[in-house]
Amino acid sequence: MRKIAIGQAGGPTAVINATLAGFVKEMMNDHSLTFIRNGYDGLAHGEFIDGDQAMLEWVIQNNHVPGACLGSGRYPLSEQNITNCIKHLKEIGAEALVIIGGNGTMEALRKIEAGAARAGYDLQVIGLPKTVDNDLGGTDHAPGFASAARYVAQATLDIGRDLHSMRNFEQVRILETMGRNAGWLASASGYLRKYEEDGPHFIAIPERPMKRDELLDSIDIAIRRHGCATIVVSEGVRWSEGNQVEREVINGRPVLGGISNEIESFLKKELKIMARFELLGMNQRSSSATVSRIDYKESFLVGVTGGKWIREGKTGIMVSLQRNGQFGYNLNIIPVGLKEVVQAGERRMPDHFIDDLDTYYQWLRPLIGDDLVSYPSPTPRRDIYAKE
Amino acid sequence: MRKIAIGQAGGPTAVINATLAGFVKEMMNDHSLTFIRNGYDGLAHGEFIDGDQAMLEWVIQNNHVPGACLGSGRYPLSEQNITNCIKHLKEIGAEALVIIGGNGTMEALRKIEAGAARAGYDLQVIGLPKTVDNDLGGTDHAPGFASAARYVAQATLDIGRDLHSMRNFEQVRILETMGRNAGWLASASGYLRKYEEDGPHFIAIPERPMKRDELLDSIDIAIRRHGCATIVVSEGVRWSEGNQVEREVINGRPVLGGISNEIESFLKKELKIMARFELLGMNQRSSSATVSRIDYKESFLVGVTGGKWIREGKTGIMVSLQRNGQFGYNLNIIPVGLKEVVQAGERRMPDHFIDDLDTYYQWLRPLIGDDLVSYPSPTPRRDIYAKE
């Protein structure tokens, strides 16, 4: 039986284990599977777990568990590390390497493939996509994003209703979402908005520097009309006159976060109102209670497809999700070259989505699903409230 | 028809509108309902909304919506305010006043009742309980708490799995829950814990000052055994040698929060590890995705009961939930005097729960419900991992 090594890398999602389970179910009967612990760090150090029956069953049992059950982590891949990865794969006799991850993963896979080729080692390489930021190129969207988007949309609506009931006491909440370089997640915050009292009343994303006067104007209008304002910002947002706000630098990678705190201070000073920031936090990528059913299914299917393509001998590719058909949502799964994915770089929101959020929400609908809450207007009898 | 004024006060919950809807459904056919806007602030300023058919229907439609649909807010009740509240109630001819709220609400209701009596105004007064902190006296538990506890339990497990997969990169997460003076919510964080790899590995609550050496020891053990540690702290926790950490003071009420940030700094300095704090935030009290079914039902029932007791002429009381029966969970709903509730003060976790969390979780089970996730062990094949 051909031996296949599979691992998970980068920040986990609520459905990354579904992709792993899909792959394992597809392959377990006619391949020998070896699991890589802790992503590239584990691979560079030769940390493998043999895929015996108990291990295979355990992995499949994890299909609905958030987080990466094999261990993941962020690990900078030096040239020496890549050489080590290849050495360890060769030692165990792996004929294929499959990693579930995002942009960094696909770049690393490409380097490992190239390094193996140079060394005359015939290694089949396939990347399986995942990201909550949705910034992965070469695919319409990536598994994990829709569940995170669903969390953000639900939290924004719910926290907005909470704020609306407290508006005599507290006027502004600033919700900070994940999204280092792309605003897909922050922009999803308005997906459930049906009434103008509901937030977000202002969305700031990394694609567009945030202007202080635009922020103030939006809040001013919302407070005058509704008594409160909900603001949503991506962690990677820059002020038009400044840089991204870094909390700290770990392993050479800046941990972003803090822009919402800066906005809180700015608003309190400028508007003399009660404002509070809040990071939506790790639940965005790990909440089991808000997993999108279609996201789960697609994640699983991505794993199954990766397995099938290993069997077909495909290599140097990532499993890519594409929309097909002008009406409705039809999923096509196609291979896309790792080279193409890497060259595409971090995928930002296109202008036509940023400038017309309704178009974006139509695009989002089949991914998030229709099985979400619908609330009545936050305001009874608008005629009474209009007098204020 | 007798005219009844009803309002909501204090921090909202995910089910406070269910209590309102229950009350309205019970009363709408044979009573004239008037709604108070924005809690005691609105009452002191005579802000009422007439309960016509459209308004009644709108309120009932809000039964599953988080936040207080009538408006709530925190409002300090001076003697003058109490006089104003009574004046406005008398003006509209209210024969009864019903407010859904927590400790502060019950105290205010008692003052209004006393003030009305002194003025020779025959006002029937009933309080309906709600609190996510579960610190309300005179009741076994209060509506809103179980849904918040469910959120905290789920988030701790899910975020813990996320951390466990990133433990090569990040070792400690510190989750800060609501709970100004009581640890019910923070202690609920371990409700779903089945494996020792899962957090929380240390819980700090306001009832017990937090000792730095105990914190360090717990983290040290958890990291040595599992590679990571999840810490849960109530916002109201004090260091054994210090005070509560206040973010700011608003309307004379300190807004707590920041203890988890202090812990993060302390751990980084002492242990030279990667630690990150996170406030679980407003979703604790407003997430619609994690509402406990029994909490919803009980909240609705509390409203219905309040209505029935208005009809029976009861006054000066709060609707109280009591457990009945040694085996299983049987709910008794009884009246408890507002005086008794106020005298009981803020209800803290009893020692026998703090010292034996399993006993506490048995107490919690019927409130949170059994319809929650169950995950396999975070670690496959413990024999392999034991070697590390």
Query: For residue range A112-143, what is the model confidence (pLDDT) as tens digits?
Result: 999 999 999 999 999 999 999 999 999 999 99
Cross-chain Cβ contact B281/A286 below 8 Å: no
Question: What confidence tens digit (pLDDT) does each residue in A197-229 have?
Answer: 999 999 999 999 999 999 999 999 999 999 999
Contact B69 A8 (CB under 8 A): no
The torsion of the CA quartet A341, A347, A350, A354, rounded to 10 degrees, works out to 160
Instruction: Identify all chain B residues contacting A274, using CB atoms and an 8 Å cutoff.
Output: 250
Which residues, 6+ apart, have CB-to-CB distance to B4 below 8 Å? B27, B31, B32, B33, B34, B94, B95, B96, B97, B98, B310
The answer, for A285 touching chain B at a CB cutoff of 8 Å, is yes
Element (H, E) at A5: strand A3-8
Using a CB–CB cutoff of 8 Å, tell me whether A265 touches chain B: no
What are the tens digits of pLDDT across the range A159-185?
999 999 999 989 999 999 999 999 999
Cα Rg of chain B, angstroms: 22
**Residue B244 confidence (pLDDT):** 66
Residues in chain B closer than 8 A to A71 (CB atoms)? 164-165, 167-168
Task: Please state the length of chain B.
Answer: 388
Q: Which residue bears the tokens 């940023």?
A: A354
Task: Give the model's pLDDT for residue A257.
Answer: 61
For the four alpha carbons of A349, A352, A358 and A362, in that order, the dihedral sign comes to: negative
- The answer to whether A133 is a known catalytic residue is yes
| A 321-380 near B (Cβ less than 8 A) | 373, 375-378, 380
pLDDT at A388: 41
Phi/psi at B127 (5° precision): -105, 140
Residue B248 parent element (H or E): strand B246-250
Counting one residue from A and one from B, how many pairs have CB atoms under 8 Å apart?
196
Distance CA A106, CA A85 (A): 15
- Domains of chain A and any CATH numbers: 3-144+290-344 (3.40.50.450), 149-284+351-378 (3.40.50.460)
Give the range among A322-331, B26-35, B93-102 with minimum mean pLDDT.
A322-331
What residue has token string 């005086």? B339
On the question of pLDDT at B215 being above 90, the answer is yes
Chain B from 139 to 168: CB within 8 A of any A CB: 154-155, 158-159, 161-168
Q: Residues 164..223 of A with a Cβ closer than 8 Å to B: which?
A: 164-170, 173
3-state secondary structure A85-114: HHHHHHHCCCCEEEEEECHHHHHHHHHHHH
Residues in A touching B64 (Cβ below 8 Å): 373, 375
In a 13 Å sphere around the CA of A89, the CA atoms on its Cβ side amount to 33
Query: To which residue do tokens 């909470």 refer?
Result: A162
Phi and psi at residue A280, to the nearest 5° = -70, -20
How many H-runs (helices) and E-runs (strands) does chain A carry? 15, 13
Q: How far is CA B19 from the centre of its chain?
A: 14
- Which residues in chain B touch residue A65, judged by CB atoms under 8 angstroms apart? 161, 375-376
B43, B98, B304, B353 from B144: Cα distances, Å: 23, 18, 16, 20
Q: Find the catalytic residue in A133, A135, A198, A295.
A: A133
Which positions 35-74 of A are in contact with B (Cβ < 8 Å)?
A: 38-39, 41-42, 49, 54-55, 58-59, 61-62, 64-74
pTM of the model: 0.95
Q: Is the ipTM of this complex over 0.85?
A: yes
The residue among A18, A23, A47 whose CA lies nearest residue A35 is A47
Nearest chain B alpha carbon to A383:
B49
Give the DSSP letter string of B169-199.
Answer: T--EEEEEE--SS--HHHHGGGTT--STTSS
B267 to chain A, minimum CA–CA distance in Å? 15
CB A23 within 8 A of CB A303: yes
Cβ contacts of A168 on chain B, cutoff 8 Å:
38-39, 41-42, 71, 73, 75
3-state helix, strand, coil in chain B (%, to 5): 45, 20, 35
pLDDT digits (tens, 9 = 90+) for A250-307: 666 666 668 999 999 999 999 999 999 999 999 999 999 999 999 999 999 999 999 9
Task: Decide if B9 contacts B40 (C-beta within 8 A).
Answer: yes
From the list B193, B142, B171, B186, the residue with the least C-alpha distance to B11 is: B142
Distance from CA of A29 to the nearest CA of B (A): 20
Residue B346 has pLDDT above 50, yes or no: yes
Place of tokens 């989505």: A353
**CB-based contact B122:B2 (threshold 8 Å):** no
